[in-house]
């Protein structure tokens, strides 16, 4: 088996297990995507433009990262995103809604995700991925082939529903960088808050160095149930507001 084919297989395995999936670097023009490319881009529904935008307004003080609403988070305009189950699987295919909020300081982006969901399994010594935000990233000059086209902010929770840790992940290169995060499950809903520097030290990660630019992303919530598809959103755009 050739080296390039082996690398491609390894990347596919990592994307499937780790929860990251590719998102096109730019939304294509109508008719520009063939069947093969559509299969690679699934399960994201490709649109001419993002389905909406998440506004990150400038704040002077950082919000709490415990998943609770505070005065700083209350200043952020909520974006309610519809999630739809992927086509695979024979179980329930219902849609759900997730609320995102974002704020930023001079050097840090803060995000808060809240959505109704099933309780954790209450299993001891278990940790699993619960939420992922997928960001498009440009190809870095000199990066290995196949190059990573997506950076994932992935929240891992324990069996009691508490956020165990959160990573910024780039696959296959770049590895994982720990993010400050907190929150979990309470009273029938999940709530996860996290932060990351606007400019990451990881050259392969998504960078928010130009606050006049928009950054494309989509959301995925993991079901962890046989026959039930994970729920994903359409592409959305993050914009920074002074």
Query: Could you tell me the CATH number of the domain that includes residue 132?
Result: 2.60.40.1190
Least confident stretch, 27-36, 38-47, 170-179: 27-36
Task: Tell me if residue 181 falls in helix, strand or coil.
Answer: strand
Is the model's pTM score more than 0.85? Answer: no
Residue linked to tokens 């149930």: 225
In DSSP terms, 181 is beta-bridged to 194
% of the chain residues with pLDDT over 70: 69
Confidence of residue 223 (pLDDT cuts 50, 70, 90): confident
Strand 96-104 and strand 53-58: pairing?
parallel
Count of domains for the chain: 1
Mean pLDDT (whole number) for 208-229:
86
pLDDT recorded at residue 86: 64
User: In which element (H, E) is residue 134 found?
Assistant: strand 127-136
- Length of the chain, please? 242
Closest CA to 123 of 20, 224, 4, 235: 224
The domain of 157 spans 3-241
The span from the CA of 237 to the CA of 215, in Å, is 5
Closest CA to 152 of 205, 87, 214: 205
Task: Tell me if residue 69 falls in helix, strand or coil.
Answer: coil
């Amino acid at each position: 088996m050739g080296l390039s084919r082996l690398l491609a297989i390894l990347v596919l395995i990592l994307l499937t297990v780790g929860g990251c999936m590719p998102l096109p670097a730019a939304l294509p023009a109508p008719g520009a995507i063939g069947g093969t490319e559509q299969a690679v881009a699934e399960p994201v529904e490709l649109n001419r433009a993002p389905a909406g935008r998440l506004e990150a307004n400038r704040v002077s003080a950082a919000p709490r990262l415990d998943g609770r609403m505070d005065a700083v988070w209350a200043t952020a305009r909520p974006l309610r995103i519809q999630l739809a189950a992927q086509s695979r699987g024979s179980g329930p295919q219902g849609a759900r809604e997730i609320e995102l909020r974002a704020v930023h300081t001079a050097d840090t982006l803060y995000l808060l995700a809240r959505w109704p969901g099933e309780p954790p399994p209450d299993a001891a010594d278990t940790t699993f991925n619960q939420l992922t935000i997928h960001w498009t990233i440009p190809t870095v000059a000199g990066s290995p082939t196949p190059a990573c086209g997506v950076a994932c902010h992935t929240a891992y929770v324990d069996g009691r529903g508490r956020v165990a840790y959160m990573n910024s992940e780039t696959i296959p290169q770049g590895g994982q960088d720990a993010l400050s995060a907190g929150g979990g499950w309470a009273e029938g809903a999940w709530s996860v808050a996290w932060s990351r520097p606007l400019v990451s030290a990881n050259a392969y990660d998504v960078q928010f160095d130009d606050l006049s630019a928009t950054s494309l992303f989509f959301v995925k919530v993991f079901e962890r149930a046989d026959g039930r598809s994970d729920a994903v959103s359409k592409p959305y755009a993050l914009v920074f507001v002074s």
